[in-house]
Structure 1
């Protein structure tokens, strides 16, 4: 089973790149952001709770996120593998994900980080607010808060996977196709 954590700050291109990897390798894309947005759109209690944190640029609490992800994993018992997009965001989540995957006799194959400078991230997020209507990308203060939360709270997850020799950083700047090629080159070394 091929299980990839696609890692990087908001606006790095994780969602865009995930689509290519899904098609190429037959993986299931699990984006906590998409799962939260679906719950928000459907007005579930989880969605309302997630929205309150997202509107402030904060992370949704681990317990809520992990339970939600477990339910999603169970929908795909015969999967060839998963792309985890936007998860794990803390070392506690990484440990919980390892435990969850161990129950399923699998593990994370590789964390691949899309590395993008902060000014480029801000530009991409502002553009995305216009093209996709995502309100969480429209406010420069919320964008900065999301980037700051990533740097302070999420980036330390990198060391968790480095310690397991499962981390790989790639340049996330350039044409979409160039970034895709870099990702494919890395994943092809794993299969």
Structure 2
């Protein structure tokens, strides 16, 4: 299967992508991983992307598209892939269609993880990370530590990332509504859109997603 995963920040795309990719035996291709891999390997696209990022500018679509194309041409993506974070706007979606058509391929589904804006803010703004190990993650409402401000695992201090503040989350949501949300209508017009609720336990959302994709 060739799937695109969409949804606002905080919808749980990364978590669901990992589960779905494993269940469907296809690689999970995330934009963040693509950028990190290309920059660390010093590829031409990576060098160009880093120059924009270091200047605080958005990386142009052509660079993101080039990285995605290179990754989709790897042997492990021959039988499908799950795209997470790409395409992020309609021009990238159109470029993806052209790219796939040239290879005699097409998308099978676009999975839209739906979650209300207030829930997104609650999820992200309530997140707390350990200063010693940022993989130790807690949440003030959903997974609170035994002692406020202290990591249960190592005793480190818990803190809120700067980009997890409510103000920043709402700004990120504005960018999502402006840039990325229009691809939902773009794919709906192609009959590819599958929308599910991203509320509830991780396993429940994964089961919902698998059932929707099978249909």
Give yes or no for TM over 0.5: yes
Q: Report the TM range for the smaller structure's normalisation.
A: 0.7 to 0.9
The alpha carbon displacement at 1:123 in A equals 2.7
Larger RCO (CA within 8 A; separation ≥ 6): 1
* Structure 1 unaligned blocks of 5 or more: none
Distance 1:112 1:137, change over 3 A: same
Mean CA deviation greater in 118-127 or 106-115 = 118-127
Q: 2:209: which partner in 1?
A: 183
Cα RMSD between the aligned structures?
A: 2.6
The alpha carbon displacement at 1:79 in A equals 2.4
Number of positions where the alignment pairs a residue of Structure 1 with one of Structure 2: 184
Q: 1:18: which partner in 2?
A: 17
Q: 1:49: which partner in 2?
A: 52
1:7 and 2:33 are equivalent in the alignment = no
Superposed CA deviations along residues 67-111 of structure 1, whole A, max 9, x for unmatched, are 111111122366220101011111111110011111221111111
* Structure 2 unaligned blocks of 5 or more: 136-159
The alpha carbon displacement at 1:129 in A equals 6.0
Mean CA deviation greater in 28-37 or 94-103 = 28-37
Structure showing the higher helix proportion among its residues = 1
- The CA distance in 1 between the partners of 2:165 and 2:37, in whole Å, is 21
Provide the TM-score with structure 2 as the length reference.
Answer: 0.75
Q: 1:61: which partner in 2?
A: 60
Q: Choose 1 or 2 for highest CA Rg.
A: 2
